[in-house]
Amino acid sequence: MHTRRSFSARLITGSAAALATSIAVAEPQDKGAASNTKTSRSGSPEHPTRYHSIDIDGSPIFYREAGAPGAPVVLMLHGWPSSSAMFRDLIRELSTDYHVFAPDYPGFGNSGMPSRSGAGVTFDTLGDVMNKFVDKVGIRQFSLYATDFGGLVGYRLMLKSPQRVKALIAQNNPLFLSESPWFGPLVPYWKDGTSQSRDKARAHYLSAEVVRDLYVVGVRDISLVDPEQWQSDHALLQRPEAAETSLDLLYDIRTNGATLKAAQEYFAAQNPPALIVSGKNDILFSGENQLRYREVLPDAKIHLMDSGHCALADKSGEIAELTREFLRRAI
């Protein structure tokens, strides 16, 4: 059991070294590198997005797939409280050159609801299901596009089968834990795990305001954010089993220190190609937090945009162009 003081002391904040690198955010681009203009590519009509469901341990896992079979694979792992729907535009943009897979976790989007026996749903649970998903759809190697919870799930896949991951694209995704005030209402629940603390976390984090803020806080022009995105996320979150799955995972955040440490060590040793393309005004993982990737990935390309946590909501075109150019050079 952790006290608030001891837990907070273990949270990793942006260091002076990371702050010192902030001047490198607006990096000079190599000749031929992507500009920050919005892409005009419209996807691949020959390989439209298809919607599938596959059985994993007796439960349906929904996924979006697009692109030519045989092309390099990009595996997209979504964040909380969304689903693969958050990648709708990005899938279309990348499908011209890549074979894209974007699954929904158990309890999210259109996937089935997981069993909550025992300790409930954990990140280890999601990592195990996604590992089986990768095996079952026949993915041998992939570039990982991870945002938010997607990193905590994706790192588990990487650490289990490191030869599979060819490159990393991190979008508002933690490699180092953050001491953001956003997590404050979770601390009592992390501390005692009681039903009373869970109910307080439920009232706060499952509210429309919290979900909306993930999309609009830190965004310069919120007229670019389609409100149906966060409204849909919030509506799906209200399903009883989905709500319980989210509360399980919000509680399990406190256990991820060892996984993040192992991922840091792996990146420091292997230095794989990496692109960090995030909203610098993120209320969960600030620009300073994202700059810390360079502590273990000194060659990482970092682009911090004037956006928030769900940067794809208003910067999808820019992110697609940067991702396409990065992958063209990296794999």
| Domains within the chain, CATH numbers bracketed | 4-330 (3.40.50.1820)
Q: How confident is the model over 14-33, as pLDDT tens digits?
A: 333 333 333 334 333 333 33
Locate 99 and state its tokens. Answer: 């074979």
Instruction: Flag whether pLDDT at 227 surpasses 50.
Output: yes
Rounded to an integer, the average pLDDT of 78-99 is 97
**45 — pLDDT class (breaks 50, 70, 90):** low
Instruction: Flag whether pLDDT at 245 surpasses 80.
Output: yes
Locate 261 and state its tokens. Answer: 């440490």
**195 — pLDDT class (breaks 50, 70, 90):** very high
Single pTM value for the model: 0.87
Q: How confident is the model over 165-180, as pLDDT tens digits?
A: 999 999 999 999 998 9
**44 — pLDDT class (breaks 50, 70, 90):** low
Residue 22, helix vs strand vs coil: helix
Q: How confident is the model over 133-173, as pLDDT tens digits?
A: 999 999 999 999 999 999 999 999 999 999 999 999 999 99
Q: Are 123 and 255 in contact (CB under 8 A)?
A: yes
Instruction: Flag whether pLDDT at 241 surpasses 90.
Output: yes
What is the DSSP secondary-structure string of 242-285? HHHHHHHHHHHGGGTHHHHHHHHHHHHHH---EEEEEETT-SSS
In the numeric block, the tokens 């070294």 are attached to: 17
Distance CA 99, CA 95 (A): 6
C-alpha torsion sign, points 258, 261, 266, 269: negative
Q: What is the pLDDT of residue 103?
A: 99
Active site residues: 309
Mean predicted lDDT score pLDDT of the chain: 89
What is the DSSP secondary-structure string of 160-214? H-GGGEEEEEESS--SS----GGGGGGHHHHHH--HHHHHHHHHHHTSHHHHHHH
Locate 79 and state its tokens. Answer: 């964040």
Distance CA 241, CA 111 (A): 12
Cα-trace Rg, the chain: 19
- Residue 292 is given by DSSP the state G
Task: Say which amino acid occupies 285.
Answer: F
Instruction: Flag whether pLDDT at 324 surpasses 50.
Output: yes
Q: Which of 37-46, 69-78, 204-213 has the lowest mean pLDDT?
A: 37-46
Q: Which of 83-92, 118-127, 185-194 has the lowest mean pLDDT?
A: 118-127
Instruction: Flag whether pLDDT at 1 surpasses 70.
Output: no
